[in-house]
Structure 1
Amino acid sequence: MKPYVKAVVLSLLVSATSCKKDSENIEKLVIKSDAMSNNILLQEWTGPYDGVPAFDKMKVSDVKEAMETGMALGLKDIETIANNPEAPTFENTIAALERAGKELDRVFSYYGIFSSNMSSPEFREVQGELAPKLSEYTSKINQNNALFQRIKTVYKAAEKTPLESEKQRVLDLIYKRFEMDGAELNDAKKKRYADINKELSTLYTDFSNNVLNDEENYITYLEKDQLGGLSEGFVKSAAKIAKDNGKAEKYAITNTRSSVDPFLTYSTERNLREKVWDNYYSRGDNGDAFDNNTMIAQILRLRRERVELLGYDNYAQWRLQDRMAKNPENAMELMMAVWPSAIARVAEEVIDMQAIAKKNNDAVIIEPWDYRYYAEKVRQEKYNLDSEEVKQYLQLNKLTDALFYVAGRLFNYDFKPVEEGTVPVFHEDVNVWEVTDKTTGKHVGLWYLDSFARQGKRSGAWATTYRSHTTFDGQETVLASNNSNFVKPAPGEAVLVSWDDAETFFHEFGHALHFFSSNVAYPTLNGGVRDYTEFQSQLLERWLSTDEVINTFLVHNETGESIPEALVEKIKKASTFNQGFDTTEYLASALMDMKLHLADPETIDIDNFERQTLAELNMPKQLPMRHRTPHFGHVFSGEGYATAYYGYMWADVLTSDAAEAFKNAPGGFYDKALSDKLVKYLFAPRNAMDPAEAYRKFRGRDAKIEALMRDRGFPVSKEE
């Protein structure tokens, strides 16, 4: 990760601003002479596998010094490039940028762990202090005029005499990023741009910490007589969590999706379902010191002001110009093409659920906290499919083996657990595997897996890298991680997951395979286009449903027997079940993200805007958005997904279309020729190739939306 996008890694993504000549600023950032030798976070990685982070030795008390020292060293690298007396060339400017800031790269790996996996009040205090400093750091790079003029000189020369393709792509991406971040603004506008970014960086950190506070502090404790409908494994896990929190003899429902979803699906206690639902969907919206509504309005105002400095009408125009969608109109067109079918399907699903409630003599009108509960009953009646029965065949360790099987068949990778104690980890729950090429035995990288929810770990599932593949300065091997929030089982119990969670597990592993398969030379090319990078991971979800995975890795938790064919058939028949809910809750969030950034932010009232927008969309009252605005971390704890949450749907068009190619291939999902094209064009190039061109090389044409509509069981409006 390069110095001019360091803030992206931390989900700050604050587009930086101008500076004076940085030599005097560097002097103010004093580099302690002993920092490199005494601060473990700055030191070069040593040990096996081309060096690994010293996760077992990291301390919060080292973070501030390491970050400040890393920033000072990064700026020193930048000044050397910017003030080079030689004429600008690709090698002395662009390639030099690619290798700058290595010390800060190392610190960011630890910082990300503290931020996402091991947060604490002590770290959050340091994080709050560092956020504006990181913004200033990024500003001093992205709008260093001497640096930009060198980049521009190389760029203009390449317009006359293009470079070879990979170098040209790196140059184009870097130039565009500097241009988008205000490199050509006048001094007054540059200063305001920088001030906005500094303020935003603090707001993003505060937003994220507010949500984490509400996740940690709204725990519902149950008595023994309130466990109706819950599985034995879930009850044991809830008991352990309660005991760990000093509430022996009670059962804890934590305020995270991995705990909330199964409770809402199976609990027979309707009043408790409502309480748990309200806790979860009210995160950041409780009218207290951790309420995010006012902060969101300020974020929107600052984002609009910042892009207006660059001449854009709204934030979405600026953000989408280098995405596949290109502009907000194209993104909205796709979402609104699917939305009517989604909400129409919800209406059908609610009718089915209301009928089940009437049949069971439940005098209820379906509310949001009822949806999952009655949907599960409809599933059982319509398809004779019990999700709890399916879970008995979805053991986390077996699913991990299934990931390795798929990676072996498609990518020729072999995964072997490293010897205990060989590779340092930051928590006892983390496991590590070595990845090698099965044919050559060549080392590819390490895969870290952090599976379980815990205090201080952000909710959800994600993938990240501690080191990415490059070759321009000698080959760098990959250190990649997947992170989940499964409820940790009681001792001796297997981890059983839902089908949806199993798909998510495959999804995040798709990101890891994207990291491992990279064949690019330059670090910048490991980046991605947001509405494309979810495609590869969404596509990998499809291999969970292949016969090879089902017949080999889905075995019963207690008996060890393979999943019965009859149950598999039920699963396949129910594949489009509840698509109204799944599509609508997601699309509502994506539409809200876009509409918030297209609206006038000056007088916006977030709570009213959310309600009015949903009413205008005819949002079904029986379900919420997947991410309500006050806790929409994708969009407001940083800018990575801001006006880009639609990208999952954009990527899913590609996914459905590509999946049909595999479905129709002679060898199905393991067809050798098509798998080779998958790796060659869709995974290995990362961002070294324009995504639209890469997809056409794989498929022979552009993707078509009809495949997505068929996938979801929605009407296809026109013939192909």
Structure 2
Amino acid sequence: MTNMLLADWNTTFDLAPFDAISDADFAPAFDTALAQARAEVMAIAENSAPPSFANTIEALEASGKGLDRVLSVFYTLAGADSNPKRQELQREFAPKLAAYSSELYGNKALFARIESLWAARDTLDLTPEEARLLMLTHRGFRRSGAALTGDEEARMRQIMARLAELGTAFTQNLLADEAGWHMELAEADLEGLPDFLVDAARSAGREKGLEQPVITLSRSLIVPFLQFSPRRDLRKKAYESWVSRGAMGGETDNREVAAEILRLRAERAALLGYESFAAYKLETEMAKTPEAVRDLLMAVWEPAKAQAERDAARLTEMMQADGINGELEPWDWRYYAEKRRQAEHDLEEAALKPYLSLEGMIAAAFGCANRLFGLEFRALDVALYHPDCRAWEVTRNGSHVAVFIGDYFARGSKRSGAWCSAMRGQAKRPAVQGPVVINVCNFAKGDPALLSYDDARTLFHEFGHALHQMLSDVNYESISGTSVARDFVELPSQLYEHWLEVPEVLERYATHVTTGEAMPRELLDKLLKAANFDQGFQTVEYVASALVDLAFHEGEAPADIMTKQLEILDNLGMPRAITMRHASPHFAHVFSGDGYSSGYYSYMWSEVMDADAFASFEEAGGAFDVERAKALESHILSRGGSEDAETLYLKFRGRTPGVAALLKGRGLAA
């Protein structure tokens, strides 16, 4: 039988034929595609013709497309719809891919060709984008150890292979802990919970084959449970399980996995001549140095901590008024913060939810994209990897732009969090290809599905990433879309969140799921006035995570990550009733791969820019100012990594922003 992963896809927009692909296809397709990629690289390295941009750099860009296609399908499924076979394949593929990467960057003949082009770059008559691709290719090879030889080169290969294995293990351990825990609720335990949460808990129970409602470790279930359950004992049980993910003991414990990752990263950086892994990692980011990152985080930490401590005192008073003596605990914060929000802003999340349907918020995200960039969305009837997935063709002025796929609901086979990925990136060379972009979220399933305001913000955030992919307009896929500095990649996503707060957007799309009536103006005003509520808490839990990430990678790797984590938080004076947003054993951003290692700060670095960028719309003609939207697309969304991130921002805004707009936006300014 034909292995569709290796065949031509005669499908709508060349989408993967998920209904014709089985798990048994992946291993043989992977081995075939990997061998082909190796052969393509060797052909470039052994080319007898003198090196040129076309026969070396552009040829490298064109290599490995078959392997990319196999892996895009596989890793889409492995992240969003895992099963034991796919997890086994992940463990099998990881060291093989690490070995291939080491072979690629360790190919001395290939590196010699790239070096000769780099040395002669001023004589090659390259376009700015070609010059950028040459620089990135040369830099990538050097930073991957291409100049290493002998024992150092061999050790680097060992390190990269082991890191690939450990990253996969970390992810799978976390998924196992998340899928393996739930708390059944008796009917009496539902007292005080809003209807939307009860419905979601019953749906989660049915998914597990149970008659009782359950709370799982999905954020969309456990956070509202912590907000609304009057049962302090159950809140404590749920909270302690939530923050213990990856540290529950046994085979899925991630503590030693993370410690070994840190040791190997430190050794990797030393082999490459850097004083720390943080110094190595930040060299290519906008921040450039660990010192610049720390300066930003500490500028935000102090006012955020001060606000959190004032809030903690108020919540403690409320708790003691309920007859509970002692200290405010982490499992108390959200419950009393919700009570405080109701008291001070007369705003109940249960009253908001009927106006924040999933369908309405998808329409809102699409509607804003239409007004800003002229994009239109048409539902597609195509085979996808799970019944919950939906697809749309994205067009502009009747021309195809992209395919967008949404996978919105939590399930046991999906890793936690939310993300955007491209199954196929935009490119013009060596062949024209339109992007296929996926947003994956973990919203609680319901009939109909209702979102919290935080969920709605997540939807807009991930769609901002999707726009960065879909509106890309460069020649080469490796610098298209979100292929930018890590501390720049969150700018489009966080910027897009601002449109959710535009009153006319909520007036149009936040309609009651039953009556269809618009959100009452009074409720809308309360929502917007409460936008900065509890920002002390939210900022502290985020910045603490970012500072721990940075400290882990700045010096010698800690022998015990939990001891080191506690030491860092103690030195910061971490408020006792707040914990890190991501404790180290489940800090997937940092330990599932290198993506956000030494880079979790990047959300805040980007927030400095997104606050300033949205202000430019407000200073012009408003949130939907035509000229500002054109500038955003022209200088940022369409350019990918074809220019330096700072250059792109300066072209869009004309200046570099400071931290003041961020503090004001979070309500933390003095």
Task: Report the residue type matching 2:304 in the other structure.
Answer: A
Paired residue type of 2:164: S
Match of 1:480 in 2: 437
Contact 1:42 1:104 (8 Å CA) reproduced: no
2:291 aligns with 329
How far does residue 238 in structure 1 lie from its aligned partner after superposition?
1.4
The one-character-per-residue Cα deviations of 1:31-50 (angstroms, maximum 9, x if unpaired) are xxxxxx8322222322222x
The answer to whether structure 1 residue 252 and structure 2 residue 222 are counterparts is no
| CA contact 1:43–1:103 (8 Å) conserved in 2 | no
Aligned to 1:447: 404
In the alignment, does 2:647 pair up with 1:693? yes
Partner Cα separation in structure 2 for residue 256 and residue 242 of structure 1? 13
- Partners of 1:508 and 1:537 within 8 A in 2: yes
Which of 552, 566, 579 is 1:611 aligned to?
A: 566
* Equivalent position of 1:542 in the other structure: 498
Aligned to 1:173: 136
Read off the aligned partner of 1:371 and give its amino acid letter: W
> Which residue of structure 1 aligns with residue 389 of structure 2?
430
TM-fit CA distance, 1:237: 2.3
SS in 1 for 2:176: helix
Note the alpha carbon deviations across 1:448-502, whole angstroms, 9 max, x for none.
111111121111111111111111233211111111111111xxx2111111110
Query: How many angstroms apart in 2 are the aligned matches of 1:386 and 1:355?
Result: 20
Please state how far the C-alpha of 1:508 moved relative to its aligned partner: 0.1
Query: Does 2:645 align with 1:682?
Result: no
- Counterpart Cα distance in 1 of 2:4 and 2:216: 34
Counterpart secondary structure, 1:436: strand
Q: How do residues 375-386 of structure 1 correspond to structure 2 at under 5 angstroms?
A: 375-386=337-348
Q: Matched residues in 2 for 1:613 and 1:42: separation?
A: 50
2:266/2:277 contact within 8 Å kept? yes
Asked if residue 589 in structure 1 is aligned to residue 581 in structure 2, the reply is no
Contact 2:503 2:524 in 1 (8 A): no
**Pairwise CA RMSD:** 1.3
Shift of 1:162: 5.3
Partner residue in 2 for 1:34: none
Residue 314 of structure 1, aligned match among 273, 276, 289: 276
1:80 correspondence with 2:43 = yes
Aligned counterparts of 1:296 and 1:360: Cα–Cα separation in 2: 41
Distance 1:426 1:106 in 2: 15
Displacement of 1:365 in angstroms is 2.9
Whole-angstrom distance in 2 between the partners of 1:554 and 1:467: 33
Could you tell me whether the CA contact under 8 Å between 2:660 and 2:669 is conserved in 1? no
Report the Cα distance in structure 2 between the residues aligned to 1:692 and 1:152, rounded to whole angstroms: 26
TM-score (norm 1): 0.91
1:69 shift after superposition? 1.3
Aligned to 1:133: 96
The question of whether the paired residues in 2 share the 8 Å contact of 1:394 and 1:502 is answered with: yes
Match of 2:174 in 1: 211
Separation of aligned partners in 2, 1:639 and 1:228? 44
1:161 deviation in Å? 4.9
After TM superposition, give the deviation of residue 152 of structure 1 in Å.
1.2
What's the CA shift for 1:390?
Answer: 1.3
CA deviations 1:336-388 (Å, max 9, x no partner) are: 11101111111111122123223444445321011111101111111111121
- Structure 1 residues 628-658: Cα deviation after superposition (integer angstroms, max 9, x where no partner): 0001011111100000000001000001111
Aligned equivalents of 1:48, 1:293: Cα separation in 2: 45
Which residue in 2 is equivalent to 1:646?
601
Secondary structure of 2:251's aligned partner: coil
- What is the aligned partner in structure 2 of residue 387 from structure 1? 349
8 Å Cα contact 2:472/2:640 also seen in 1? yes
Which of 448, 451, 469 in structure 1 is aligned with 2:426?
A: 469
Q: Quick one: which amino acid aligns to residue 465 of structure 1?
A: A
SS of alignment partner, residue 393 of structure 2: strand
Aligned 1:166-245 pairs, distance under 5 A = 166-245=129-208
What is the count of residue pairs matched by the alignment?
A: 668
Superposition deviation, residue 287 in structure 1: 2.3
Letter aligned with residue 54 of structure 2? E
Give the Cα–Cα distance (whole angstroms) in 2 for the partners of residues 160 and 333 of structure 1.
Answer: 41
Which amino acid in structure 1 is aligned with residue 562 of structure 2? D
Letter in 1 for 2:173: N
* Structure 2 counterpart of 1:39: 3
CA apart distance, 1:160: 4.5
Question: Which stretch shows the higher mean deviation, 354-363 or 698-707?
Answer: 354-363
- Please give the alpha-carbon distance, in whole angstroms, between the structure 2 residues aligned to 1:620 and 1:462: 30
Q: Check if 1:495 corresponds to 2:449.
A: yes
The answer (yes or no) to whether the contact 2:11–2:17 under 8 Å persists in 1 is no
Is the CA contact (8 Å cut-off) linking 1:383 and 1:574 kept in structure 2?
yes
Among 378, 393, 408, the alignment partner of 1:416 is 378
2:317 counterpart (355, 358, 369): 355
Residue aligning to 1:10: none
For the residue of structure 1 that corresponds to 2:252, the secondary structure is: coil
Corresponding residue for residue 707 of structure 1 = 661
Q: Deviations over 1:65-104 (max 9, x none)?
A: 1111111100100011111111101011111111101110
Selected match of 1:658 from 613, 631, 638: 613
Q: Which residue type is aligned with residue 681 of structure 1?
A: H
How has the CA–CA distance of structure 1 residues 87 and 199 changed in structure 2, closer, same or farther, with 3 Å as cutoff?
same
Aligned-partner residue type, residue 568 of structure 2: T
Cα distance in 1, alignment partners of residues 459 and 207 from structure 2: 26
**Aligned-residue offset at 1:231:** 1.6
State how far apart, in whole Å, the 2-side matches of 1:105 and 1:705 are.
Answer: 39
Whole-Å separation in 2 of the counterparts to 1:478 and 1:202:
30
Partner of 1:633: 588
Report the equivalent of 2:22: 59
Q: Report the counterpart of residue 250 of structure 2 in structure 1.
A: 288
Who is 1:17 aligned against? none
1:286 and 1:124 mapped to 2: Cα distance?
A: 20
